Homo-oligomer: A and B are copies of this chain.
Amino acid sequence: MYSFAQIIVFMKFTAQQIATIIGGTVEGDPLVSVDSISKIEEGTEGTLSFLANPKYEPFIYTTQASIVLVNTAFTPEKKISTTLIKVDDPYQSFATLMEFYQKQLEPELITEEPVKIHPTATLGENCYIGAFAYIGKNVKIGKNVKIYPQVYIGDNAIVGDNTTFFPGVKVYNNSVIGNNCIFHSGVIIGSDGFGFAPSAATGYKKVPQLGNVIIEDYVEVGSNTTIDRATMGSTIIRKGVKLDNLIQIAHNVEIGENTVMAAQSGVSGSTKIGRDCMIGGQVGFVGHLKIADEVKVGAQSGVNYNVKNTGTIIQGSPAMPILDFQKSTVIFKKLPAMDKKISELEKIIKDLQSKLQAN
């Protein structure tokens, strides 16, 4: 049905169309078209590239890219097969073109049909509401918000301006979400925290989860990440936090400003992580911890103690200072040799003992 070699990643643009968009001049074939982008040194037919760094100039004579953006001042020293588009700042023009391209991919700012929007919900101007989206009672949505298809926004939720919910995001009631946030498909915000009390009748009795989730501005959350509501009060994701895919944020957790966390990490209930931290993938934090600012945690670590000093770097399961971890890890690999060495020494010592006794 299709060939993997003919993948249309971009819409097709001719050199002339591109020159018009970015205000450049074509030198070469104005009708040659591209549908993808490449680095100049890896350029293939049908791709667009750019020459910004003079270091890469030699590649312009060999590149297979069909179109290359170059500086107005650029004059080829040899024959050139690619079509050039001359602009004042090739890198900036490339960025402009990418923005233009991304804009084309954005949905029209309309409300598609069918959707379910409760009459008490309010929506700012210039929003996109995709088909099969659900917006509950008293929801307040800011302006320029994109709610893709199949998104659910529960009762009383508040959403700031310029925030995007990709298809299938679910936001439970009473969640509060800031401006300029991005939530990728499958993100769950505000599900119940994992709280149960032992009970004779049913094994465990559910502890009501009465709090909510607060997400501040400029937060981005990756696919299928889950953020539980607080038992009481709020689970808080501070301004600028970036969470990767499949992360678990438990009830009453707080993640400090601009902290970034890689995929599949998990933070247990009531743990507070500071600002500007960098958390690797598949890391786990036990509950009720306090982690200082600018802390770095290596992948697959298990953090089970408070980290008090700003900028601490830790790794391991259980976690320890990274240098200790690295040193111990090196020796872990040598454990069989070490074991053997100890046996040898023991033998020598016994030998020495008997010799000494014999003396």
Contact = CB atoms under 8 A, between A and B. Distances in A.
A317 B299 CA distance: 9
A325 to B, nearest CB: 9
Each complex incorporates copies of this chain amounting to 3
A338 B348 contact: no
A63 interface: no
A77 interface: no
Interface string A183-217: 01110100110101000001110101011101010
Interface string A284-318: 10100000000000011010100000000000011
Given A232-B37, A258-B204, A168 B156 contact: no
A264 B264 contact: yes
Contact of A186 (B204, B211, B226): B226
Given A170-B166, A184-B188, A282-B282, A204 B317 contact: no
A356 B346 contact: no
A228 B264 CA distance: 14
Contacts of A324: 333, 336
Contacts of A132: 116, 132, 134, 150
Interface of A: 1-2, 4, 7-9, 11, 37, 98-99, 101-102, 105, 112-114, 116, 124, 130-132, 134, 140, 142, 148-150, 152, 154-156, 158, 160-161, 166-168, 170, 172-174, 176, 178-180, 182, 184-186, 188, 191-192, 194, 196, 202-204, 206, 208, 210-212, 214, 216, 218, 220, 222-224, 226, 228, 232, 234, 239-240, 242, 244-246, 248, 250, 257-258, 260, 262-264, 266, 268, 276, 281-282, 284, 286, 299-300, 302, 304, 317-318, 320, 324, 327-329, 331-336, 338-339, 341-342, 345-346, 348-349, 352-353, 355-356, 359
